[in-house]
Amino acid sequence: MRVAVIGANGQLGHDVCSAFSAAKNEVVALDHSRIEISSSESVRNALESIRPNLVINTAALPNVDKCEIEPAPAFAVNALGARNVAQTSDALGATLIHISTDYVFDGLKKSPYTEGDAVMPLNVYGNTKLSGEYFVRGAIQRHFLVRVSAIYGHNPCRGKGGLNFVERMLKLAREQSEVRVVDDEMVTPTPTSEIAKQLVILSAIQNYGLYHASSEGSCSWYDFAAAIFSLTGTTARLARANPSEFPARAPRPKYSVMENAALKKRSLNVFSTWQDGLANYLAQRKEPGSPAGK
């Protein structure tokens, strides 16, 4: 199968390319130099030259606070870009996997969100990603909408300054004696490598539609940092930050934990617990030649 991966040089896109290549697919990696999804002409030219069987769109403007102050470019990429990719994929007879987010929820439920729960984004980023979902649904029948949560991977994320949460915590621990982290937001940290493996499995079925794809369990950002420090033997002191200590332009849901109900219904869920995912990430981080280990 010929697979076009949009956003191939990103945190998730890098692992998606690796996973589909390992599964013996012909992978065409499309980074920003080869495709601009906010331009329908760019999308059409790039995909028509490849004529893929499957398109995977991992590209987005993910900086939540920047989206809040610059909504127009966020909408152009996260919403209209999704429409452009969906329309061209449909015209070429390809299947589309489009990546969305847990930030389509308002966090008021206090129990894991399933695919059937009502959406209510709190910020511009969540609204633009939800708009992208609607555009995909309206443009192509052969689609998988995959919502992910609190992702981290070995490849740098340019849209968030290059450091994922794990690497940022370890960097802060090297630079200062105390690291302060909020504990009032509940999430499910999820390695991009596990998401990529799940996408390979999804690509083999024709049960199109909406899927949640995150690790099992949940924790606060403080709990996640504590696990990182414990597993790495970090000696810096970890302290709970006050909710107002790190003001943000964009409101975040206090609870954005998801349940992979659709995957489990079809016995397709491959995710481990967030603790196991972190342990595996840190083990791979130490391997010679890994991006984080260099």
Q: Which of 103, 125, 152, 222 is catalytic?
A: 125
Q: How far apart are CA 150 and CA 132, in angstroms?
A: 19
The maximal CA–CA distance of the chain, rounded, in angstroms, is 56
Q: Residue length, the chain?
A: 294
Q: What is the pLDDT of residues 2-38, one digit of tens each?
A: 999 999 999 999 999 999 999 999 999 999 899 999 9
Q: How far apart are CA 201 and CA 104, in angstroms?
A: 24
* pLDDT score, position 280: 94
Q: How far apart are CA 238 and CA 202, in angstroms?
A: 39
User: Amino acid identity of 285?
Assistant: R
Q: Are 68 and 17 in contact (CB under 8 A)?
A: no
**Helix ranges, 92-123 (H):** none
End-to-end CA distance of the chain: 33
Active site residue 211: no
Pairing between strand 209-212 and 143-148? parallel
Tokens encoding 233: 């033997």
Q: What is the pLDDT of residues 120-152, one digit of tens each?
A: 999 999 999 999 999 999 999 999 999 999 999
pTM across the whole model: 0.92
* pLDDT score, position 73: 96
* pLDDT score, position 247: 66
* pLDDT score, position 287: 54
Residues of the chain scoring pLDDT < 70: 158-161, 247, 286-294
* pLDDT score, position 259: 97
Q: How far apart are CA 38 and CA 42, in angstroms?
A: 8
CA atoms within 13 A on the CB side of 60: 31
Contacts of 234 (CB under 8 A, 6+ apart): 170, 173, 228
What does the DSSP assignment read for 238-275?
A: EEEEPTTSS--SS---SB--B--HHHHHTT-----BHH
Q: How far apart are CA 175 and CA 249, in angstroms?
A: 26
